Amino acid sequence: MKSQSKNRNLLGKLTQSALFTASTIMISSLGIQSAQADETCMSPYMAKIVGQEDFVYIWTLGMEGVGDEQDKLVTVDVNPKSKNYGKVINSLSVGGRNEAHHSGFTDDRQYLWAGGLDTNKVFIFDVHSDPAKPKLTKVISDFVAKSGGVVGPHTTYALPGRMLITGLSNNKDHGGRTALVEYTNEGEYLATHWHPTDSDLRGAVKTGNYADGYGYDVRVLPRRNAMFTSSFTGWSNYMMDFGKMLNDPEAMKRFGNTVVQWDLHARKPKKVFDVPGAPLELRCAWGANNNYCFTSTALTSKIWLIYEDQAGEWQAKAVADIGDPSKIPLPVDISISSDDKTLWVNTFMDGKTRGFDISDPFNPKQVYEQKIGAQVNMVSSSWDGKRLYYTSSLLANWDKKGDDNEQFFKLYHWDGKQLKEQFAIDFIKEKLGRAHQMRFGAYSLYSSNSQQPNLLTKYQ
């Protein structure tokens, strides 16, 4: 990784406004077209794939009694022109069970960072030398010590020359109080940014009843110098058996109820919004004038809109229900289409995916619904809107039991009216474990000579 440090350090020193200007000029002069595929909902600082993705990398939880029982990065060939289409072509075990959860690329897309919510390890994979066979190049094992007590590395999010990691917990009480942690692309610790609480707002304005200091996901809108974080729960809950937790009144009080607006450049919290019921994934619009993001609340089954009003102030508003909230379908992952017209919402308990028309972001309307499996968690949309990938696992101790504990990776084609399954891989039958989060890969991302991205990053 050191061989790439010069370029990445230079990138990290540039301001985001300068990067935007430089990339715009170069894209115009080189005649580079916008991407036709790739995964939506990624960092706007990342290089994008042009055309059909070749691979999906699946960060997978080890499962007792299944295969080697270790967490692993599984590579599936998803190019329909390949002889290996729909097959597992590589599996890289990382040692033990770490509660594998989320992963994310560096801005140059040469490395994939993946976290373990239990052991607090961060695994860094080289995905550019041979995209079909990622290599584990570094393991960060001192995350808690370096960060000053942050536990549960969750979202690994690309900034210019840097990686921003959200935490879920802390090592003092294993509750939800946590922080954002910043590293260089080479894996060197830089800074910790604690979430605002009632006792320490850190300069933020509390707009409602809560300032709980909880964390979960992060997304940015550089053109508005805005960063947003959502909130979930701490180690003591996410490592607990799901049924036991649901029947523990005290445990059910330990969920986040906030979304925080940050100054992106300064990494300082500005506003704390009440978003009750554990807001999870954040997904921001791509349109040049669409200054808003969505999140969904796991416990109250609502879609929330985080938006900039006409006065230039950010607000938060519940805009739609997901299924029947009284039945707690448990919304988990969401994915916004690249044209900002559709929001896909997965609900874990009923195993369904739902499509919402968000042409009017203040009034989402459900237009489609389909059962994917006995349980479903993550959804990844292709940039062209034609493919949706699904995985099954939520957390090792939260997944369903018995026959309902389906563990799969599935591809569906979307024609604008219905989803049609193309293939499915049974991760238990293949002795791989619990399929969790997905990221796309492609040979076309790297030139044959320099192995540098062949498409400039698209900036928001």
pLDDT in tens, 372-395: 999 999 999 999 999 999 999 999
- Given a cut of 70, whether residue 7 has pLDDT beyond it is no
Predicted confidence at residue 34, as pLDDT, reads 39
What sign has the CA pseudo-torsion 25, 228, 295, 335? positive
Tell me if 351 is assigned to some domain: yes
Task: Name residues whose C-beta falls within 8 Å of residue 317's C-beta, 6 or more positions apart in sequence.
Answer: 304, 305, 307, 362
Q: CA 42 to CA 320: how far, in whole Å?
A: 24
Residue 457 in domain: no
Domain presence at residue 460: no
Predicted TM-score of the model (pTM): 0.91
Asked whether 326 and 301 are in contact (CB, 8 A), the reply is no
In a domain, 453, yes or no: no
Alpha carbon of 281 to those of 61, 273, 420, 441: distances in Å?
20, 16, 25, 22
**What are the residues whose beta carbons fall under 8 Å from the beta carbon of 145, sequence distance 6 or more?**
none
Per-residue pLDDT, 1: 52
Residues 255 and 237: their CA atoms lie apart, in Å, by: 9
Q: Which two tokens stand for residue 416?
A: 């604008």
Helix or strand or coil: residue 165?
Answer: strand
Structural domain including 420 reads 2-445
* 31 in a structural domain: yes
Over residues 145-158, the mean pLDDT reads: 98
- Amino acid identity, position 332: V
> For residue 423, is it within any domain?
yes
**What CATH number does the domain containing 41 carry?**
2.130.10.10
- Grade residue 16 by pLDDT with cuts at 50, 70 and 90: very low
Of 221, 271, 302, 211, the closest CA to residue 45 belongs to: 221
Contact call for residues 460 and 21 (beta carbons, < 8 A): no
The span from the CA of 279 to the CA of 277, in Å, is 6
Q: How many domains, in total, are found in the chain?
A: 1
Position 377 scores a pLDDT of 98
Task: Kindly state whether residue 304 falls inside one of the protein's structural domains.
Answer: yes
- Which residue is it, tokens 């910043």? 182
Please give the pLDDT value at position 200. 97
| Residue 118 forms part of a structural domain | yes
